[in-house]
Amino acid sequence: MKRASNDATLNKIGDIYQYLIALLKCFELNEGESILIEVLGDVTKVSQKDSFQMEVKHHIGEDYLSDRDVDFWKTLKNWTIEYDKIKNYDKLILYTTSSIDKDSPFLDWNHKKDSEKMSVLKGIGEIKKSREETFREIYNDIFNVATYDNKKILLILSKLEIQNKQMQIVNIDAEFNKHIKHIPEINRKNFIFSLLGLIIKGIQEPPHYWEITYKDFEVMIQDTTPTFMNAERVPLPDDFSDAEISVGEEEVFCDKEFVKAIKNIQHDKEVPKAINDYWRKNMTIAKYYKDNFIFNTSVSSYKKMLQNKLGYEKENRVIDYEDAERNVQIKESKKFYNYVMGWEASSFGRINPNREFFQKGIIHEIVDSGDFCWDIGEKV
């Protein structure tokens, strides 16, 4: 189970890294060019003179591109299959964080002629090994006698570049900083994650790919920049605003007091949304503010402000309905809950703007502490 969880995490990191690289390439666009994600492959650049189709591979820690590495061979196989779609691109790029060893047959790959590259591949394939099922299957598919076309393979190889030893995800901030010097340093990471959120949102929605032109990206930058220009004001990161908790994780929260409080007013349909907001709040704090003393001090004050506001709002309803029938109290408790969930998110400390999911999560945290409940038939 742990292995499966680790694999899922690595896959998510790989996806985010792919989107970050696509975003980096957006900063390099010129008039008339565009970037596509998940159309022909990981990242595609449409251009009259500098087009490419790129496959992006990320590895944690030190890693080397071996002669039988699936990153290379699967990529090559896919390009042979999609030949008619990729043949007109200027470059076919394997973009990888892996290094190339000094003894590797891929050393100096980008300076070799297509015929020399072919010799390298054939040389690798001629060596038979006892454990090579994965490699041999891919190799045989590429050089299948029935479908093999030497001219097509040579054309692919003439365009194929290996861009190795690229920065890993933990170091990628430095690359973005070259393009966003106009943003105060303290806000740069949040600025990038805000742009990244727009990309991910676009990919999540049908037809599940993303395309942006040079002009569209200019507008995106212009629209996003003002929020992050004030060094005294830091927007709360919103990369979890559309995230959905997994079924397994959701079950962990089902016995929480804030969930029981919602069920107590027979408002069960609101429980999934409440759990999601509570989880999103936790994830945001864990990712960005876990050891941030200033932020956590501000959150404590913010929490007290919300608790006081909740108390006054509830007291008005208790006064109005303390002698009412129980079914009326339940109905008004539901309306009270809905009213609070509709509050505009208040800024706090240096956080401006705040996010609705975060404020709702804090409110559920207050309820979870036992210091407040939604039932106007109870005085807590």
Over the stretch 18-56, which tens digit does the pLDDT of each residue have? 999 999 999 999 999 999 998 888 999 999 999 999 999
Other C-beta atoms lying within 10 Å of the C-beta of residue 197: 19
Strand partners for 212: 35
Structural domain of 145: 8-227
Residues 312 and 344 occupy one common structural domain? yes
CA distances from 8 to 15, 145, 273 (A): 11, 37, 24
Strand partners for 292: none
Determine how β-strand 91-96 pairs with β-strand 160-163. parallel
Residue 234 lies in a domain: no
H-run or E-run covering 329: helix 326-341
Residue 271 structure tokens:
């429980």
Residue 244 lies in a domain: no
Residues 259 and 223 occupy one common structural domain? no
Residues 192 and 49 occupy one common structural domain? yes
Chain-centre distance of CA 196, in angstroms?
A: 7
Domain boundary among 211, 227, 243: 227
Q: Give the C-alpha separation, 190 to 225, whole Å.
A: 11
Residues 28 and 156 occupy one common structural domain? yes
Residue 243 lies in a domain: no
Residue 375 lies in a domain: no
H-run or E-run covering 293: helix 293-321
Burial class of residue 249 in the structure, from the number of CB atoms within 10 Å of its CB (0-12 exposed, 13-18 middle, 19+ buried) = exposed
Domain boundary among 162, 194, 227: 227
Residues 192 and 86 occupy one common structural domain? yes
Q: Give the C-alpha separation, 363 to 196, whole Å.
A: 28
Q: Which residues of the chain have pLDDT under 50?
A: 1-5
Residues 173 and 260 occupy one common structural domain? no
Within 13 A of 205's CA, how many CA atoms are on the CB side? 8
Q: Give the C-alpha separation, 210 to 202, whole Å.
A: 6
Q: Give the C-alpha separation, 170 to 268, whole Å.
A: 41
- How many domains are there within the chain? 2
Q: Is the peptide bond before 353 cis (omega within 30 degrees of 0)?
A: yes
Q: Indicate the pTM of the whole model.
A: 0.68
Residues 213 and 292 occupy one common structural domain? no
Residue 245 lies in a domain: no
Strand partners for 45: 35, 52
Residues 186 and 325 occupy one common structural domain? no
Other C-beta atoms lying within 10 Å of the C-beta of residue 109: 20
Contacts of 165 (CB under 8 A, 6+ apart): 97, 98, 99, 100
Residue given tokens 């590495």 in the structure block: 69
Residues 347 and 266 occupy one common structural domain? yes
Residues 92 and 34 occupy one common structural domain? yes
State residue 9's pLDDT score.
59
Determine how β-strand 43-46 pairs with β-strand 34-37. antiparallel
Residues 25 and 162 occupy one common structural domain? yes
Q: Give the C-alpha separation, 183 to 233, whole Å.
A: 12
Domain boundary among 194, 227, 260: 227
Residue 377 lies in a domain: no
Residue 374 lies in a domain: no
Residue 116 lies in a domain: yes
Pick the closest to residue 354 from 313, 310, 303 (CA basis): 303
Residues 221 and 279 occupy one common structural domain? no
